[in-house]
Chain A
């Protein structure tokens, strides 16, 4: 029983990270109808920035906040420079754009910081949380920061005018323009926020997976699985999907013989395929009906 509880709690902790990645993916998907394959690499780059700031002597939380600001601005810049010109381009052109972004960000990080694995600090420590062996303080911190972030995002989208405008622009761009919303900037803002959310995920998972240019590869696939499971059109679904995938991954690794740590990733891929076959809109997504 203790093993089970332990695995569920650990699953919720990594699930929190998947939830953040899924949320970032869904925010951009809602704005531009494309999956951002480079979301993980952008998060990795942000994490390196925070690491570099700490190497230069800044405290963890100072580096954390500066990295968020940097990521927000970088996300907006990427949208303005690379994806705004592609807005009306066919899907494949956009896919090529995302792959290019992936390769550029990954190689730049390797060039600047090289590909050796680096230790990344945790501000929460790794002692047992509240004296319990079930969960570490860092895992509790991952859950705590994510929950804070989700609550803040909820209030932003539900109760601020700019949040309302962003929702309107994502749901019906033409109507949004007709009430005077600059939808193009709302998309850029969405990129900025998604990049900052990804940065949080990267900085929280780095002490677990260690810092290196390919650290987010697996995480992003779980994030995609979470987004697909929850429904690509539902930010709420993405978050629920993240936690579910985290727990499912851990339990499968523990209890299904032969899965272990090595076969966890194919499980995420199998999950994506099963959801797409059985319920393509996901748990909370809306069925997209196109008039022909």
Chain B
């Protein structure tokens, strides 16, 4: 298995405050890896550091190429789609415009048109609402739209920041089912950050546990899920 994303000794700062203290992990091509941890552990910061949205030092390599010191928009052009916390939906634009924005870096207009149709078959509710302003969608629908928008990039790696946040349990099940399908069928590697550890561990093949800006545990997702001690001390269920 080839390593797609390799993070070494990552340190990140908000002003004078250090949020990550030498974090290292890697993600294999085709894998669905999850980063778990409590509030404030540094999960979101890790994703933001990968896309250079926060000041950081250390090594971040994507497919063997260093990402450090590149602008956020040029990192996206490597094929890294980031669905931020709060989804980053363009609420004043229509659903279809949101999807077109996801593909704004692509030049193949025929491919974009067919990909929009593909998204509508993945997420039928988006087709029903394609002329509606995205801000009028429900939370679950907006999360579907955010995932669809990210897929419009035809990414090699998708970064998801708490996709379950604020959604009803049934909707979360649906969404995670779709994520698994995208990972298997479209061969998109996924790095998902979650507080809902139980669900994320069911879906993922590999897991890392973060605490105060450091990796404290890593392994196959099913081993972590069945390890009583880790569960009690870090995952809280």
Interface string of A156-192 (1 = CB under 8 A from B): 0000010011011001101111111111000000000
CA distance A45 to B149 in the complex (A): 43
Residue among A167, A180, A182 with the highest chain B CB neighbour number at 10 A: A180
Would B72 and A177 count as touching, CB distance under 8 A? yes
Cβ of B125 within 8 Å of any chain A Cβ, yes or no, is no
Task: Quote the shortest CB–CB distance from B51 to chain A (angstroms).
Answer: 7
Enumerate chain B residues within 8 angstroms of A177, measured Cβ to Cβ. Answer: 53, 71-73, 76
Size category of the binding interface on chain B: 20 to 34
With a CB–CB cut-off of 8 A, which chain A residues contact B76? 177-180
Return 17 A-B CB contacts under 8 Å, by A number. A161-B100, A164-B97, A165-B101, A165-B104, A168-B101, A168-B104, A175-B90, A177-B76, A178-B51, A179-B105, A179-B149, A179-B153, A180-B73, A181-B73, A181-B101, A182-B71, A183-B73
**Which chain B residues border A182 with CB–CB below 8 Å?**
71, 73
Cross-chain contact B73 with A174 (CB below 8 angstroms): no
* Cα of A167 to Cα of B94 in the assembled complex, Å: 12
Whether A168 touches B84, Cβ cut-off 8 Å, given contacts A179-B149, A179-B153, A181-B73, is no
A176 to B92, CA, bound (A): 13
- Total chain A interface residues with beta-carbon distance under 8 A: 17
Other-chain contact of B92, A161, A165, A171 (Cβ < 8 Å) = A171
State whether the Cβ of B102 lies closer than 8 Å to any Cβ in chain A: yes
Q: Is the interface of A mostly helix, strand, loop or mixed?
A: helix
The 7 A-B residue pairs with the shortest CB-CB distance in the complex, in nearest-first order: A175-B88, A180-B76, A180-B105, A177-B72, A177-B73, A178-B82, A180-B73
Chain B interfacial positions (CB closer than 8 Å to A): 51, 53, 71-74, 76-77, 81-82, 84, 88-90, 92-93, 97, 100-102, 104-105, 149, 153
Q: Which residue of B lies closest to A177 (CB)?
A: B72
Instruction: Kindly identify, within residues 25 to 80 of chain A, every residue whose CB is under 8 Å from any CB belonging to chain B.
Output: none
B72 touches A178 (CB 8 A): yes
Q: How far is the CA of A164 from the CA of B90 in the complex (A)?
A: 11
Residues of A within 8 A of B53 (CB): 174, 177
* A240–B76 CA distance with the chains assembled, in angstroms: 38
**Min CB–CB distance A183 → chain B (angstroms):** 7
A148 CA / B220 CA spacing, docked (Å) = 63
Q: Which residue of A lies closest to B76 (CB)?
A: A180
- Find out whether the CB atom of B93 lies under 8 angstroms from the CB atom of A178: no
Seed contacts A176-B101, A179-B101; 9 additional CB < 8 Å A-B pairs? A168-B104, A171-B92, A171-B93, A172-B90, A175-B88, A177-B72, A177-B76, A180-B73, A180-B153
A180 to chain B, nearest CB (A): 4
Q: Are B104 and A161 in contact (CB under 8 A)?
A: yes
Closest residue on chain B to residue A172 by CB atoms: B90
Q: Nearest chain A CB to B133's CB is how many angstroms away?
A: 12
Task: Please indicate the chain A residues that have their CB under 8 angstroms from the CB of B81 in the complex.
Answer: 178
Q: Smallest distance from the beta carbon of A83 to chain B beta carbons, Å?
A: 19
A171 touches B90 (CB 8 A): yes
Central interface residue in A165, A174, A179, by most chain B CB within 10 Å: A179
Which residues on the A side are within 8 Å of B153 (C-beta)? Answer: 179-180
Of the candidates A164, A171, A174, which one forms a contact with B104 in the assembled complex, judged by CB atoms under 8 Å apart? A164
B105: chain A residues within 8 A (beta carbon): 179-180
User: Could you tell me the distance in whole angstroms from the C-beta of B52 to the nearest C-beta in chain A?
Assistant: 10
Interchain CB contact under 8 A, A178 and B84: yes
Per the bound structure, the CA–CA distance linking A177 and B73 in Å amounts to 5
With both chains docked as a complex, state the minimum distance between the C-beta of B119 and any C-beta of chain A, in angstroms: 14
Assuming A171-B92, A178-B82, A179-B149, is B101 touching A164 (CB within 8 A)?
Answer: yes
Nearest chain B CB to A186 CB, angstrom units: 10
| Nearest-CB residue, chain B, relative to A178 | B82
CA distance A172 to B89 in the complex (A): 9
B92 to chain A, nearest CB (A): 6
- A165–B102 alpha-carbon span in the complex (Å): 10
State how many angstroms separate the Cβ of B186 from the closest Cβ of chain A: 18
- Is the CB–CB distance between A180 and B77 below 8 Å? yes
Tell me the complex Cα distance, A174–B89, Å.
11
| A164–B100 touching, CB < 8 Å | yes
**Mask: chain A, 96-115; 1 = CB below 8 Å from B; 0 = not:** 00000000000000000000
A175 CB → nearest B CB, Å: 4
For A233, the closest partner residue in chain B by CB is: B92
Question: In chain A, residues 123-142, which have Cβ atoms closer than 8 Å to a Cβ of chain B?
Answer: none
- A168: chain B residues at CB < 8 Å are 90, 93, 101, 104
Residues of A within 8 A of B73 (CB): 177, 180-183
